[in-house]
Amino acid sequence: MSLEWIVKIVSENWQMFLRGAGVTLYISLIGTVVGAIIGLIAGVIRTIPAPEHGVKKWFLLFVNFLLSVYIEFFRGTPMIVQAMVIYYGSALAFGVNIEVMAAALIVVSINTGAYMAEIVRGGIVSVDKGQFEAAQAIGMNHLQTMMNVVLPQVVRNILPATGNQFVINIKDTSVLNVISVSELYFLTKSVAGNNFRYFESFFVACVIYFVMTFAVTRILLYFERRLEGPDNYTMVRGEEMQPAK
């Protein structure tokens, strides 16, 4: 009977499952955060207004070209293949065997970065042009405009997409089992390999994946709501007419 098997598998292997879930969450979280940072940096670079001429113009064009190649390439190939290429390729190219965990973090981060770069660019373009001009008009340069005016709005706007990417990563890190990263799928496979109860073992993994993605979705929703801020403001009157904190 399956249910008994499930109880037995959980009670005997709960530490494995927990460890697998922890590794999966860890890689997904780091990958999403680093990916978002890569995306923000790429977005800022790709929206630098083109200088009229000179070396700067060509340098910027070149950097933008490299960024496009990166984005297109990582969006256009499966992560499972990227993992293999980066893990085995780094050994060939640099003669170093990077640790599987390092390879895993690198793959998920730069893969996420490629998607986030597009999302961030969309977010930057959606901030109304007037605010860019107002920032320029008070003498801000591109970086100051981005840091003080545009990115805070972009970060808020792309939060749902970033959360979505996090959820995708939780699920897609399972492909990292091809380079033997001890995430949830990989450890479940080894549990199932020991007891030959494939359905029951993977059913447990399935529930754990769902709990993780569901919890993450809810938590992010909560933060999105909070970021919207209060609907009201307080008027400042009389003697207390001081800048409020």
Q: Contact residues for another protein (CB under 8 A)? A: 52, 128, 130-131, 133-141, 144, 148-149, 152-153, 156, 229, 232-237, 241-244
Q: Tell the smallest beta-carbon distance from residue 89 to another protein (Å).
A: 42
Nearest approach in angstroms of CB 222 to another protein is 20
Residue 242 CB, nearest approach to another protein (Å): 8
Q: Closest separation between CB of residue 153 and another protein, Å?
A: 5
Q: Quick one: 21 or 149, whose CB is closer to another protein?
A: 149
For residue 147, the minimal CB distance to another protein (Å) is 8
Q: Which is nearer to another protein, 76 or 238 (CB)?
A: 238
**Nearest CB to another protein, comparing residues 12 and 128:** 128
Q: What is the smallest separation between the CB atom of 49 and another protein, expressed in angstroms?
A: 10
- SS in 3 state form for the chain? CHHHHHHHHHHHHHHHHHHHHHHHHHHHHHHHHHHHHHHHHHHHHHCCCCCCCHHHHHHHHHHHHHHHHHHHHHHCCCHHHHHHHHHHHHHHHHCCCCCHHHHHHHHHHHHHHHHHHHHHHHHHHHCCHHHHHHHHHCCCCHHHHHHHHHHHHHHHHHHHHHHHHHHHHHHHHHHHHHHCCCCHHHHHHHHHHHHCCHHHHHHHHHHHHHHHHHHHHHHHHHHHHHHCCCCCCCCCCHHHCCCCC
User: By C-beta, is 51 or 89 nearer to another protein?
Assistant: 51
User: Would you say 19 or 142 has its CB closer to another protein?
Assistant: 142
Identity of the residue, 92 or 241, whose beta carbon is nearer to another protein in the bound complex = 241
